[in-house]
Amino acid sequence: MVRAVLVPEPGKLVLAEKAVPIIRESTEVLVRVKAGGICGTDLHIFHGTSPVATYPRVIGHEFVGEVVARGRGVTRVREGDHVVVEPIFFCGKCYPCSIGRPNVCENLEVMGVHRDGGFQEYVVVPERNVYPFSKDISWEEAVLMEPFTIALQVADRGNIASSDTVFIIGAGPIGLCILAYLKYLGAQCGISDIIPKRLERAKNLGADFVVHSGEENLEREVLRHFPGGAHVVIDASGLPETFAQAVQLASRAGRVVVLGFHTAPSPIPQASITLRELTIVGSRLQAHKFPQVVALFEERKLQPGKLVSHVFSFERVHEAFALLEHYPEETCKVLLSF
């Protein structure tokens, strides 16, 4: 038997026992999970506020582990390899898939959301979903690879170059991953949050300026540093009002990238978009970003360790969830070790 972190129905979180997964296809690998990252999505699934999740569900879409067995047709990895799992499954036939955007496939399935995820001791996945990485990278650091793929996707969608000025609303784990990646790119970055400790982390990751949006005037601060507005504004907070703010803060010919799943509308006048000819884009999951992120980690270009605030053994998952829910100011990325 293997133990798994299961949400049988909204509001319940249990450690369940299930049969050891077995390889059924020659192109599959069996991975012994070593570490996973708890994400806002996992909390939404637990609370029943995910618009897409189905139940019962073994959660977890940010996870890494060791290959312990493989099907006969597997050629890219072998037993003993350390791998990160790309948690998305797509059809390869629909319009988005046909233009290289499988992350918005019409038949998209995400591990830990639409099908069972990585918060369990073993998982079986197709070999095309795993990417081996150097054993010099710790399990804890490697868990950050998936969140960093989200950051690379955002940079792509916002067409961000090193010469750009970028403002990020929200300094939670995703906002900070985006910041860390954009600083590596060389862009100038400001970031806001209502939690001072998160802004401390942002400074530590190289933010050019931070704005405490509970106390300072966001628009004035952004314009002070970036006269005319930011070339790119990223809403990593995802509230109806932050989307409207993001549009307001963008420069002429600017881009606005949104990541939120809120269903409430935001008041955004057409004129703000037309007069400045803004490009407003959504960014969901990632497309083809794992190889690039693995390379960046192996070259030590990012600072994933700075994003990890806590590590719990998976048996203490309830404590980890309670910490995230009740002490958001104390936490950044909270990991489970297996």
Of the candidate spans 52-60, 84-92, 134-142, 198-206, the one that interacts with Zn ion by CB under 5 A turns out to be 84-92
Neighbours of 300 (CB within 10 A): 11
Q: How far is the CB of 208 from Zn ion (least distance, A)?
A: 26
CB nearer Zn ion, residue 98 or residue 292: 98
Contacts by residues 137-141 (CB-CB < 8 Å, ≥ 24 positions apart): 137/82, 137/297, 137/298, 138/305, 139/34, 139/35, 139/64, 139/82, 139/337, 140/35, 140/305, 140/308, 140/311, 140/335, 140/337, 141/297, 141/304, 141/305, 141/308
State which residue, 94 or 296, has the beta carbon closest to Zn ion.
94
- Looking at beta carbons only, is 15 or 94 nearer to Zn ion? 94
Structure tokens at 289: 């970003």
Nearest to 308 by CA among 139, 191, 182: 139
Residues 99-158 that bind Zn ion (CB under 5 A): 105
Number of residues that bind Zn ion (CB under 5 A): 6
Question: Which of these, 330, 328, 326, lies nearest to 309 by C-alpha position?
Answer: 330
Smallest gap from residue 90 Cβ to Zn ion (A): 5
Closest CB to Zn ion among residues 55, 95 = 95
- Residue 41 vs 251, nearer CB to Zn ion: 41
Regarding 295 and contact with Zn ion (CB under 5 A), the answer is: no
Q: Decide if 127 contacts 70 (C-beta within 8 A).
A: yes
Residue 39 as a binder of Zn ion (CB under 5 A): the answer is: yes
Question: With respect to Zn ion, which residue has the nearer C-beta, 22 or 91?
Answer: 91
Q: How far is the CB of 233 from Zn ion (least distance, A)?
A: 21
Strands 2-7 and 14-18: antiparallel
How many Cα atoms within 13 Å fall on the side-chain side of residue 133? Answer: 30
Identify which of residues 105 and 317 has a Cβ nearer to Zn ion in the complex.
105
CB of 37 to Zn ion, least distance (A): 7
The DSSP secondary-structure symbol of 144 reads T
3-state SS class at 160: coil
Q: Minimum Å distance from CB 212 to Zn ion?
A: 26
Taking the complex as a whole, the smallest distance from the CB of residue 131 to Zn ion amounts, in Å, to 17
Phi-psi map region of 48: left, alpha, beta (phi>0 left; psi -120 to 50 alpha): left
Q: Cβ 54 to Zn ion, closest distance in Å?
A: 18
Nearer to Zn ion, 46 or 209 (CB): 46
Would you say 97 or 176 has its CB closer to Zn ion? Answer: 97
Q: Which of residues 90-109 bind Zn ion (CB under 5 A)?
A: 90-91, 94, 97, 105
Work out whether 69 is an interface residue with Zn ion (CB under 5 A): no
Q: DSSP labels for 164-204?
A: -EEEEE--SHHHHHHHHHHHHHT-EEEEEES-HHHHHHHHH
Q: Shortest approach of Zn ion to residue 296 CB, angstroms?
A: 18
- The least distance separating Zn ion from the CB of residue 218, rounded to whole angstroms, comes to 26
Contact map string, positions 2 to 21, toward Zn ion, x by CB under 5 A: --------------------
Q: Which two tokens stand for residue 260?
A: 């939120």
- Whether the CB-CB separation of 329 and 303 falls below 8 Å is answered with no
Contact 27, 130 (CB under 8 A): no
Binding segment toward Zn ion, per CB under 5 A, in 33-41, 195-203, 212-220, 323-331 = 33-41
- Residues engaged in binding Zn ion (CB under 5 A): 39, 90-91, 94, 97, 105
